[in-house]
Structure 1
């Protein structure tokens, strides 16, 4: 891949990930929010942005990043994603414990709460499966299927949660970010051949290419 093509791709990825954060920071609704609530909201936005990067790292699709480096960063970003979710939920708990309890028990009247809780548990489960991968001693194909299924739960629940909320996120950049997370995950599943007859560790390693 030519340097100019790499620069364009990185520019597009950066725009998709950063634009929603900038747009939310400029929202007039922030003037009426508590600092903890604001921090919690931005933790959620950052978590959604990381959902775009995670599958690209897993499949080695980021231009100029080696497969080994992609897998290493994928693990660190996964930990950061879990942290952002904890901060997001923790901040909401501080500002309104009853609402968080209702959401966790799936008795909240707002549909976006249920989607958020589903995404949260899928993230925690995916992280746990990753941490216990060696101890579980599953076949690589089995592990990939379970991990990718949980990832699908994350990118369905997370974007649905964000999309249904009318808050500080700007609608257009939010929609693009949500769609990008889903597309990136589906692309990673296809590239890694997780649901085909034989899984590959990384598409770049199979073909000998370095992007």
Structure 2
């Protein structure tokens, strides 16, 4: 029974991440896109999939991974997320610099650009804080105070950006992935809040 549950969890995650990529690969719109634009677009889809994996790792919901391995995987996938975003933005910059300048300056007429750029800066901010955490001497509590709000911005910005973009991503698989991203994030936030409340209650009882 436990093996079947582990297999189901990993299979569900694999399908959730890979199905939107496969659906986008079958899109007829790719026939009118250049190779750099296509690479940039798929980098964005992969980035959205990685955003789903991150809360699952930090919440300990992926079986077969110890807490330590989960944290290490969270760290490395965070780096992969930064790379995917850089490829996504860099490719779009190469194909249309004026549009990207407008997006980065928050002056683009397309609403999805605002959400995407906001999520991008939040991702970069988390990556920078993670890289400088030891040098800055950030304690776990301080790190969480900075990281959790930025993570919420990343999730909301990424989901809204993805849903508003009308491109090669298939609508149903995209909506399913975005729903899972939101659901996983809400679950982690609720669990963290419950653990904090429990620890505070135990502390007050001891006193």
Q: TM-score when scaled to structure 2?
A: 0.91
Q: How many Å separate the matches in 1 of 2:30 and 2:134?
A: 45
Partner of 2:127: 127
- Which structure would you say has the larger Rg? 2
Q: CA deviation at 1:27?
A: 0.3
Partner of 1:65: 65
The answer on 1:26 being equivalent to 2:26 is yes
The answer on 1:87 being equivalent to 2:110 is no
Partner of 2:44: 44
After superposition, the C-alpha distances for 1:127-164 in whole angstroms (9 at most, x for unaligned) are 11111112222331221121011011000001111100
Q: How many Å separate the matches in 2 of 1:107 and 1:87?
A: 22
Q: CA deviation at 1:62?
A: 0.5
Does the CA-based 8 Å contact 1:82-1:127 persist in structure 2? yes
Could you list the structure 1 runs, at least 4 aligned residues long, displaced by more than 6 angstroms after superposition.
Answer: none
Q: How many Å separate the matches in 2 of 1:134 and 1:198?
A: 28
Q: Structure 2 vs 1, CA of residues 59 and 31 (structure 1 numbering), >3 Å: closer, same or farther?
A: same
Q: How many Å separate the matches in 2 of 1:195 and 1:162?
A: 32
Partner of 1:191: 191
Give RMSD over aligned pairs: 1.6
After superposition, the C-alpha distances for 1:143-193 in whole angstroms (9 at most, x for unaligned) are 112101101100000111110011100000001111111211222223334
Does the CA-based 8 Å contact 1:23-1:170 persist in structure 2? yes
Q: How many Å separate the matches in 1 of 2:69 and 2:17?
A: 20
Partner of 1:209: none
Q: Give aligned pairs, total.
A: 199
Higher relative helix content: 2
Q: How many Å separate the matches in 2 of 1:131 and 1:185?
A: 23
Partner of 1:16: 16
Q: CA deviation at 1:117?
A: 0.3
Q: TM-score when scaled to structure 1?
A: 0.90
Q: CA deviation at 1:2?
A: 0.4
Q: How many Å separate the matches in 2 of 1:81 and 1:125?
A: 13
Q: How many Å separate the matches in 2 of 1:142 and 1:198?
A: 20
Give the 3-state SS of the residue equivalent to 2:155 in structure 1.
helix
Give 5+ residue unaligned stretches, structure 1.
Answer: 200-211
Stretch deviating more after TM superposition (175-184 or 83-92): 175-184
Give 5+ residue unaligned stretches, structure 2.
Answer: 200-207
